Chain A
């Protein structure tokens, strides 16, 4: 509700997404590299950095007026707080992706209609993993002096396997190859989500408590 009311992070992320896709579209030479080969990387670079903008603000609203302290004093467990933030951040990133994907299709003319369901599935899997780790790190850096710098520095290395897997599966989908060819990458995505969701849930209380 707060993000809907302020719309600061949402507008930033959407504008960033549109800008990045525009730059990639006009900055490439379509005769040098086929669009279909570049498209998965462009999609995932765009989504990764757009989502980072949102995650930078994940706990900003709680830091204003120190609402986070009051949340930690309240009867809700830190685990419940984490899961609530996870869901909220997934919704935020999901909405940005819903805006970004049609723009991506428009700019790069990638035929997604026949692969829409599996593509959304991959995006959803990757988003959950991204947000699970991003929410934890966002809580870790929130009280540091250079939070907006620290988050990408800490988060990006952890996202490498996730983004690699998502890009590989997306490339297979765009090329019309069967998912069985990228089953290993799909399993990596699922395993990443399970492992890091569990780890983040376990580590979050230690992160926010003094």
Chain B
């Protein structure tokens, strides 16, 4: 379970979060849409425990060990190889030593970068780095995924592979909170959709049978009206 209650946070005079509350249970995927500066990243960073909000609180069942985080950067050590990075992060999260190599191999294969396992991260392209970033976040099999623009840099094939992986994870009872600008990327994964503007949810509802077009129209209306 993931719960946020009355989250408020400012950066100087800018209200990044203005009274956000919601609860997610296993198997739910909340896709957050919002313009630049709407507070999506701040919300994710509060949920991840990187920011202590001025008001309200957030809790993730299972604590930090249950969270897989993808931010705007790759969070990888540039001079370590792909495999070394994955094994390092797996060790930090307490993945048993006997399982680390197999888990790294599996994720690298699923994300199409198995042939780059021995390559230093600094020589990878943006898209390949993003795939390794995703692998890093999934190494410890987290129950909650907090993803900030995870499709950035991915080509169509890699994006499709990642969507399939996410669908599999949520089908197995994970919770996902995904922030994206791109309605098409996020909609098919969503069980719930939120539009965030000026730090508030201007819309929060189950996706239901709505398609990308309908949600994009609703998003434009909701954000324009705010």
B74 touches A209 (CB 8 A): no
Q: A70-B89, A76-B92 are in contact. Are A65 and B67 (CB under 8 A)?
A: no
Residue numbers in B under 8 Å from A61 (CB-CB): 77, 79
User: Which residue of the partner chain A has the closest CB to B80?
Assistant: A2
User: Which residue of the partner chain B has the closest CB to A1?
Assistant: B80
Q: A70-B69, A74-B92, A76-B92 are in contact. Are A64 and B78 (CB under 8 A)?
A: yes
User: Which residue of the partner chain B has the closest CB to A76?
Assistant: B92
A44 to B94, CA, bound (A): 41
User: Which residue of the partner chain A has the closest CB to B94?
Assistant: A75
Interface size class of B (residues with CB under 8 A): 20 to 34
A66 to B78, CA, bound (A): 11
Q: A72-B50, A73-B48, A73-B69 are in contact. Are A65 and B75 (CB under 8 A)?
A: yes
**Chain B 131-174 near chain A by CB (<8 Å), digits 1 or 0:** 00000100000000000000000000000000000000000000
Which residues in window 6-21 of A have CB below 8 A to B?
6
A2 to B121, CA, bound (A): 13
- B72, CB-defined interface residue at 8 Å: yes
B80 touches A70 (CB 8 A): no
Residue in B45, B49, B50, B67 with the greatest tally of chain A CB atoms within 10 Å: B50
Residue in B71, B72, B75, B92 with the greatest tally of chain A CB atoms within 10 Å: B75
**Chain A 172-210 near chain B by CB (<8 Å), digits 1 or 0:** 000000000000000000000000000000000000011
Residue in A65, A72, A76, A210 with the greatest tally of chain B CB atoms within 10 Å: A65
Interface size of A in residues (CB-CB distance below 8 Å) = 19
B78 touches A65 (CB 8 A): yes
- A69, CB-defined interface residue at 8 Å: yes
B49 touches A73 (CB 8 A): yes
Residue numbers in B under 8 Å from A209 (CB-CB): 50, 52
Which residues in window 51-87 of A have CB below 8 A to B?
61, 64-67, 69-76
- B51, CB-defined interface residue at 8 Å: yes
Residue numbers in B under 8 Å from A73 (CB-CB): 48-50, 64, 67, 69
A73 to B93, CA, bound (A): 10
Residue numbers in B under 8 Å from A5 (CB-CB): 79-80
**Chain B 47-62 near chain A by CB (<8 Å), digits 1 or 0:** 0111110000000000
**Chain A 1-41 near chain B by CB (<8 Å), digits 1 or 0:** 11001100000000000000000000000000000000000
User: Which residue of the partner chain A has the closest CB to B84?
Assistant: A1
Partner of A66, one of B63, B71, B136: B71
What residues make up the interface of B, taking CB atoms closer than 8 Å to A?
Answer: 45, 48-52, 63-65, 67, 69, 71-80, 89, 92-94, 121, 136
Ordered by A's residue number, 25 sampled pairs between the chains whose C-beta atoms are within 8 Å are A2-B77, A2-B79, A2-B80, A5-B79, A6-B79, A61-B77, A64-B77, A64-B78, A66-B72, A66-B73, A66-B74, A67-B77, A69-B50, A69-B71, A70-B71, A71-B92, A72-B49, A74-B64, A75-B63, A75-B65, A75-B94, A76-B92, A209-B52, A210-B45, A210-B51
Q: Given A2-B80, A210-B45, list of 9 further CB < 8 A pairs?
A: A61-B79, A65-B73, A65-B121, A71-B92, A72-B49, A73-B50, A73-B64, A75-B93, A210-B51
